[in-house]
Structure 1
Amino acid sequence: MFRFSTLRLPRTIILALCVMSAVLFPAPSASAVQGGALRIGVENDYPPFSFPDENGRQSGFDPAVAEALCRAMERPCEILPLPFEELLNAMREGKLDLIIAGLGANGERRAYMDFSESYYHSRTIYIGRPGIRTSPDWMKGRRLGAQIGTLQAVIAERLWKGTAEIVLFRNYDEMLDALCADRLDLVLSDGLPGYEFLRGSRGAAFTMQETELPLDDEINDARIGVRRGVPGLLRAVNQAIREIRLNGEYDRAVRRYFPFSIY
């Protein structure tokens, strides 16, 4: 018969382990578990997806989707606009329950959040002056812009590291400003805000070229980031996405901000 002796650890070690557990595995927010307001992060200035309107209210496709999902889940929501990189940090720190900002589900992000079904589809495009090429010879030494933390930055590294000079920006508008000032040769952009830029007065002098990525590449699926460890939240979000597509709220939001289907 085997006997196991009780291991007694010093109180300082026990306290240290408790602190580490709280940091690495934060408890789900009371709001998320008990049916209170869901804290939903959206990008602060990324038209037409999310931007402050003339009254200072956060508008755009993503806030509209957030509000529709909360109605479908019968939950109040608090919409929190943040720069893209800060959205990811806030989710890591347990300060958000959802991120609605066209996220791609890459391996690094899966380490600290779950992902919903796709809520729209997009394509990554290059934007530059007429005559841009994406051959290795043409790209050699060119300055290629992308936004920090986005899948476009991942694509830039995947396709052009060691060939082009990759310049990363914290803010999408700052990247476009650099392109317009000819401090960049071209940028990688999500197709939908990229088309919005090309349709405006600043984009009139530029053209686009699609990436070589296949249409069915997972990188084209935009998903909602869901806080890990909240019982039933991912399932509820997926059910709500299906519901707003069936009840017409999703299509109304699309028509408000886009001239074509994005699903």
Structure 2
Amino acid sequence: MLRSKSVTLLRLAAFGCLAYLACGGAQAASAAPKAGTVRIAVEGAFPPFNYLDSANQLQGFDVDVAKALCQAAELTCEFVIQEWTGMIPNLLSGQYDAIVSSMSMSAERRAKVAFTRKYYDSPSVFIVRKGSAVTGTSADDLKDLKLGVTSATSQQAYTKQFYGSVSTTVFPASPDLYKGLADETVDIILEDKLAVYDWLANTKAGSCCEFKGGDIKNAEYFGDGAGIAVRPTDDALLAKFNAALDAIQANDTYDTINAKYFPFSIR
């Protein structure tokens, strides 16, 4: 799935109502929001967390969580589809107000934006084709192989630091990364475990491949889980999101969303 360079707005109905409405056409990122509207950025190319369905509507775990948070906080919200590399710069420039897009809370990102507490956690993991001759996942094990990662991700930063001697191909989006592994463009990839789980478990293409090695956790690069990012000065919005997150995890809302996408808890 391609990452659009333009930014499309999908309007979320005021949360006095429960209906989700999509606008008829695309709007520019700089279009002025309605007074009191909170604009939430998602990538739209990271299934099962956020993606566009066959009707070009946003779906996924992040999207459902964002809707639930806006309802609990009594906020009027709208979604902005934003390519990944522009996520933080465009938040800081005011093109939207929050990011709910599986963003790990790395030290580098915490220096630029403010995060809520985590709304889910996931390690990173290596994936290879079934029957692969890959015997291990150290830099020495991979020295003669081709490694794949997705651009501007924590996984890319991690491999730059610890796998700098390994030939690495950087793909623009996760679907391209998975295709690169399946069609043997690369021999092994490093990806968020929950993100790639859907591809491995629920798609024909993903049946080619499997996890290799154990879970990788490194707070410096992958943070302490995924959080909702806001501008450092938006203390009031940050507090509302944290309170809303407490509310949906205290009742069955969060667990219902979790069960829709995963057969295990990702808290």
Name the TM-score, length of structure 1 as normaliser. Answer: 0.81
Match of 1:10 in 2: none
Match of 2:4 in 1: none
Match of 1:46 in 2: 46
Report if the CA contact (8 A) 1:40-1:96 is conserved. yes
Q: Does 1:202 align with 2:205?
A: yes
Match of 1:172 in 2: 174
Task: Find the aligned partners of 1:107 and 1:70 in 2 and give their Cα distance.
Answer: 27
Decide which structure has the larger Cα Rg and report it. 1
1:87 shift after superposition: 2.0
For structure 1, the residue ranges without an aligned partner over 5 or more in a row are 1-29
1:175-190 mapped onto 2 (5 Å cutoff): 175-190=177-192
SS in 2 for 1:225: strand
Match of 1:74 in 2: 74
Mean CA deviation greater in 88-97 or 173-182: 88-97
Match of 1:99 in 2: 99
Matched length: 232
Task: Find the aligned partners of 1:189 and 1:196 in 2 and give their Cα distance.
Answer: 12
Match of 1:154 in 2: 157
For structure 2, the residue ranges without an aligned partner over 5 or more in a row are 1-31
Match of 1:65 in 2: 65
1:219 shift after superposition: 2.9
SS in 2 for 1:121: coil
Provide the identity percentage.
30
Structure 1 counterpart of 2:97, which letter? D
Match of 1:262 in 2: 266
Task: Find the aligned partners of 2:72 and 2:173 in 1 and give their Cα distance.
Answer: 32
Structure 1 counterpart of 2:101, which letter? A
Q: Report which of the two has the higher share of helix.
A: 1
SS in 1 for 2:109: helix
2:244 to 240, 245, 251: 240
1:151-206 deviations in Å (ceiling 9; x for gaps): 11122112211x21122122111111211121111111100121111112112121
Name the TM-score, length of structure 2 as normaliser. Answer: 0.80
Task: Find the aligned partners of 2:144 and 2:89 in 1 and give their Cα distance.
Answer: 32
Report if the CA contact (8 A) 2:99-2:228 is conserved. yes
Q: Does 1:227 align with 2:231?
A: yes
Structure 2 counterpart of 1:100, which letter? V
Structure 1 counterpart of 2:93, which letter? E
Task: Find the aligned partners of 1:215 and 1:88 in 2 and give their Cα distance.
Answer: 21
